[in-house]
Amino acid sequence: MTAERHILILGGTTEARRLAAELAAEPALRVTSSLAGRVAEPRLPAGQVRIGGFGGSEGLARWLREQQVDALIDATHPFAERISFNAARAAAEVHVPLLALRRPGWVPGEGDHWHPVASLAEAADVLPALGERVFLTTGRMGLAAFAHLSGQWFLVRSVDAPEPPAPPRMEVLLDRGPFTVAGERELLRRHAIDVLVTKDSGAAATAAKLTAAREAGIPVVVVRRPPVPEGVRVASGVGEAVGWVWSTLG
Ligand code: NAP
């Protein structure tokens, strides 16, 4: 293989950081990670980092061409729908091989009371029938979907402070994972939480709340993932993605 093949990782997840660390250790590869710039102090991955949007699929296609990217890995959060769509479009346009890295979703176990919904709006619709003290862990960006619920009290956990519109009765807890079962158990108890809302991120770092909810017999509203863009190849783990890079670059 000729030196310095360029890999672009669309990041913002634990898996993206782990993948960057593995690939950046390879002398034959130049690795750039791209972050959206939503988090004020992001955990920076190994290798080069660029921050901010590309300007739609056209901007991303231009960047891939100008920076002579040899392979693109969309390792964004399973709910970051727009960037994944842009990646599929841009990669097809400039003929750069694309892989989506998606950790598997969570699976309910015995004793779980899960209510799967298709969107945050649907989560807000089912909430009043399920509880009054809500632990909301879907991130600060989608808070507007719950802003009309005045009958519920919300504990909102997010990395950075949310902005309005937001529910009228809420407390904000600024924190980021990994979280422990003991910590989550204590949080549910202290705030007398009777319903949890989460996206099906599948992340190990944030799965402890599901165990704590199961133990406490609390219902969980689980927002299902949007589909990966049609035709895009998917890897479920970092090792598989690394293997794909080598087989793709030849
Ligand atoms: P999104 O709705 O899919 O993307 C919105 C716009 O943000 C994109 O069109 C793109 O702007 C820019 N963008 C997103 N990810 C980018 C990246 N990795 N590098 C450069 N630009 C990016 O995404 P989102 O849901 O707002 O999530 C933003 C980032 O946060 C993602 O990278 C994701 O991995 C991470 N994240 C998201 C969630 C979540 O629940 N959605 C949770 C944890 C982490 P342009 O069109 O200008 O290129």
Q: Which residues of 188-205 are buried (b: 16+ CB within 10 A; e: fewer)?
A: beebebbbbbbbbbbbee
Same domain, 9 and 96: yes
Same domain, 62 and 152: no
Same domain, 89 and 136: no
195-199 and 48-51 as β-strands: parallel, antiparallel, unpaired? unpaired
Q: Is the pLDDT of residue 1 over 90?
A: no
- Asked if residue 70 belongs to a domain, the reply is yes
Taking only the tens place, the pLDDT of each residue in 27-70 is 999 999 999 999 889 999 999 999 999 999 999 999 999 999 99
- Asked if residue 191 belongs to a domain, the reply is yes
With a 6 A CB cut-off, is 139 part of the ligand 1 pocket?
yes
**What per-residue confidence (pLDDT) applies to 2?**
52
Cα of 90 vs centre of ligand 1, distance in Å, is: 15
Same domain, 24 and 95: yes
- Asked if residue 23 belongs to a domain, the reply is yes
With a 6 A CB cut-off, is 63 part of the ligand 1 pocket?
no
Atom of ligand 1 nearest to the CA of 10: 18
Residue whose CA lies nearest to ligand 1 atom number 37: 77
Residue whose CA lies nearest to ligand 1 atom number 11: 53
Rounded CA-CA distance 201/225 in Å is 8
With a 6 A CB cut-off, is 113 part of the ligand 1 pocket?
no
Query: The domain that contains 83 carries what CATH number?
Result: 3.40.50.720
Rounded CA-CA distance 77/93 in Å is 23
Q: Range of 183's domain?
A: 114-223
Quote the number of domains for the chain. 2
Rounded CA-CA distance 193/242 in Å is 41
One-letter amino acid at 203 equals A
Same domain, 207 and 233: no
- pTM value is 0.94
Cα of 110 vs centre of ligand 1, distance in Å, is: 34
With a 6 A CB cut-off, is 137 part of the ligand 1 pocket?
no
With a 6 A CB cut-off, is 38 part of the ligand 1 pocket?
yes
Give the H or E element holding residue 195.
strand 195-199
Q: Is the pLDDT of residue 22 over 80?
A: yes
Cα of 11 vs centre of ligand 1, distance in Å, is: 8
- Asked if residue 202 belongs to a domain, the reply is yes
- Asked if residue 109 belongs to a domain, the reply is no
Cα of 10 vs centre of ligand 1, distance in Å, is: 9
Taking only the tens place, the pLDDT of each residue in 99-155 is 999 999 999 999 999 999 999 999 999 999 999 999 999 999 999 999 999 999 999
Same domain, 120 and 139: yes
Same domain, 43 and 86: yes
Rounded CA-CA distance 194/209 in Å is 13
Whether omega before 165 lies within 30 degrees of 0, making that bond cis, reads yes
Among 239, 249, 243, 233, residue whose Cα is nearest residue 30: 249
